[in-house]
Structures are given as structure tokens and as C-alpha cells.
Amino acid sequence: MGLQGLCRLMSRFNSYKRTNIILQHLKMSNHTDAAAEVLLERKGCAGVITLNRPRFLNTLTLGMIRQIYAQLKKWEQDPKTFLIIIKGAGEKAFCAGGDIRALSEARNTNQKMLQDLFREEYILNNAIDSCQKPYIALIHGITMGGGVGVSVHGQFRVATEKSVFAMPETAIGLFPDVGGGYFLPRLQGKLGYFLALTGFRLKGRDVYTAGIATHFVDFEKLGMLEEDLLALKSPSKENIADVLETYHAKSKTDQDKPFILEEHMDKINSWFSANTVEQIVDNLQQDGSSFALEQLKVIKKMSPTSLKITLRQLMEGSSKTLPEVLIMEYRLSQACMKGHDFHEGVRAVLIDKDQSPKWKPADLKEVTDEDLNDYFKSLGSNDLKF
């Protein structure tokens, strides 16, 4: 072979080699992207969980739930890990909930996923509540549904002026799960019942005032707070609380601003003390104020079945332990997956986006106690177990 032929052969070989390297890199990139939905890192004295789907507002997938649970259990037993921090990537959201569109799509293709996701998510919620290490959730940005589940059960929750909290599930034919039946009825007065039935959004310092967050810190100081927590040497729970309290005390944003619902709380406590959704609706109609009529308009858009499930869920949950509530909510989740309204809600809000769900039944009166009992009944050997 002449010199020119050898050069051509070497050129083809190098081109082939480069192509192979590029293909390998692409495969690795795809793998890394899939594996990086959640980042689990040891930093300083802490284990740090970063929900890493900013394009999707850090919504939770089953894979993320499994990774977080496994790592949480490891850190809990690790003598070098003194606290656990969870946060969201990007500035828009801590976590906007679970991937409900994927849930709805799985109805006809993957029934097991519907069981596994709810079961494992609720087991994670309970593990956070019972975690032996201080657990700190930095709930900056949108914090809804599943995002509330991986934060509110922790020992410390830090809100910022950009925090947005809501449990909007009745608008999509679901109910405020992830332990909503436990923490919502334990908020001041009937605030939790109001938030659960209307999906009302709390923002900024109001998330702290309502009791969802334990501390409030200005967003621009959040990075410094995390650094100071990571720099602690073998900290006790009290040392961690002192750092959080110091930052909280220095945060002046909206410090003198009254709670957004303050002027309405007496009425909210009265309206939402009723034992039936129908009576709550009557209370709002009879009041007739602009605020009451605004809430009435919102409630009338929600799934009648979801409204009735939610009220009973909170009433029963008010005297249950968190594990008992999660067992109840798992039963409700599986019944809702088999029903009509959740899939119709997802269609109307996320798929067709016509915002006009056709609920079945369409009227509160048509949702009977017998219907409700079916949602709450035991699943026997398929019940959630801890």
C-alpha cells in the first residue's frame, strides 16, 4: 500500500474512532440526564437532595422517589451525616407536585405503576416525618402536592418571599394527599379545610404565618444559610435551629404585612366548620360578601366527588396518626385512579387545556354516602403497610 492509501485508511479510521467517541458520549449524556433527575450529595456535615427537573418545575417521578428514600435511609444511619437538606434546582419551583399526566397515561398501560408510585411516595412521606436526623426543606418557589409531601413532614421548612404553597387537587378530581389529611386539619382554626377545598394559594411570608413553613428567610440569603448549615461541625438539633432562627430574625421582607386571610379568618372558621360540603356552600351563599362569593365560585368549579372525599378525609384525619392517614389516602388514591374525575381533570387542565372538566357526578347531591364509603374501604392485603 502506498503512502497516499495509508493516509486515506488512517483518515477513515480516525473518523470512525471520532464517531464512536461521539456516540459513546451521547449515550453517556443520555444516561447522566436520566440519572440526574435528583442529585444526592454529601456536603460538609449534611446530605443534600436537589430535585433536578427545573424544566418540569421539579415534579416528582417514581425513580426520584426511590432514589431519595434509599439515600435518606443511608444518611439516617451514617454517623458523619448530621442533617439532611432538600431543595429544588432553578428559581421557579421547589417542587410543583407529582407527574400527574404520567399517572393518568398509566391507567391503561401500567396499573402497577399507579400502585407503586402512591405506595412508595407515601412511605417516603412517613420516612421524612420519622427521620432521626434534622431534615430541612428549602421551599423556595412553587411548592404544591407532592412537593408539600417531601417538605411539610420534615422538622424544618424554610420559605422565602417567592414561595407559593397550594394543595389544588380538587380541581383535577383528586384530593390533597401526601399526608394532607394529617397536617391540614392541624393548621389554625379551619384554615386547612379552606385551603384543601378551594386550592387557595399562599405566597411568601404567608406560607410561614399559616404554619406550613417553620422559618422565613429572604431569597438572596438562602445560599448563605445553606453554606452556614453545611459548615457546622457535628451540630446538634439545637445548633441547627439556632442558625435558622438567626436568619429568620434578620429577614425583614413583608415583616409588618398582615396575613392575607387575617380579616377573613373568623368567617372561614365559621363557614368551614360545617360537617357537609353542601352546608359549607350554603354558608358561603348566605354570607353573600364578595370574598364568600369568590370562594363559592371556586368551589363550584371543583369535582363534587373530590370535595366530599376531601372534607371527610380531613375530618377523619384530624384524629389519626400520620401512618393511619397515609393508609387511608392510599385507599383513596387507588379508588380515584379507577374513577372518572381524575382522568377528566388531567385532560381538561393539562392535555386539552380547555379548563372545562365534565365531572361525573356533576352535582354534590349526586355523590352519596354510599359512593364515598367505596373510596374509603379497606384494600385488604393490598393496603399500604409500614
What pLDDT is stored for residue 38 in this prediction? 98
Does 121 belong to an annotated binding site? yes
Q: Report the C-alpha gap between 340 and 73 in whole angstroms.
A: 37
User: For residues 83 and 136, is the Cβ–Cβ distance under 8 A?
Assistant: yes
Give how many domains the chain has, as a whole number: 1
Assigned domain for 109 exists: yes
Assigned domain for 28 exists: no
Catalytic residue among 97, 146, 173, 204: 146
Domain residue limits at 162: 38-254+265-382
Assigned domain for 296 exists: yes
Assigned domain for 24 exists: no
What pLDDT is stored for residue 21 in this prediction? 37
Task: For residue 101, name the pLDDT band (cuts at 50, 70, 90).
Answer: confident
User: For residues 154 and 86, is the Cβ–Cβ distance under 8 A?
Assistant: yes
CATH of the domain at 183: 3.90.226.10
Dihedral sign of CA atoms 353, 354, 360, 365 in order: positive
Assigned domain for 312 exists: yes
Catalytic residue among 37, 99, 129, 177: 177
Q: Could you give the percent of the chain with pLDDT greater than 70?
A: 91
Catalytic residue among 98, 147, 180, 339: 98
Decide if 169 is catalytic. Answer: yes
Catalytic residue among 37, 99, 169, 341: 169
Assigned domain for 25 exists: no
Q: Report the C-alpha gap between 363 and 6 in whole angstroms.
A: 82
Task: Provide the b/e sequence for 136-148 (b: ≥16 CB within 10 Å).
Answer: bbbbbbbbbbbbb
Does 316 belong to an annotated binding site? no
Assigned domain for 15 exists: no
Give the mean model confidence (pLDDT) for residues 290-300: 98
- Per-residue model confidence as pLDDT tens digits over 307-363: 999 999 999 999 999 999 999 999 999 999 999 999 999 999 989 999 999 999 999
Does 352 belong to an annotated binding site? no
Give the mean model confidence (pLDDT) for residues 116-135: 97
Does 33 belong to an annotated binding site? no
Q: Report the C-alpha gap between 53 and 384 in whole angstroms.
A: 28
Decide if 228 is catalytic. Answer: no
Q: What is the DSSP string of 28-67?
A: HHHHHHHHTTEEEEEETTEEEEEE--GGGTT-B-HHHHHH
Assigned domain for 184 exists: yes
Decide if 145 is catalytic. Answer: no
How many residues does the structure list for the chain?
386
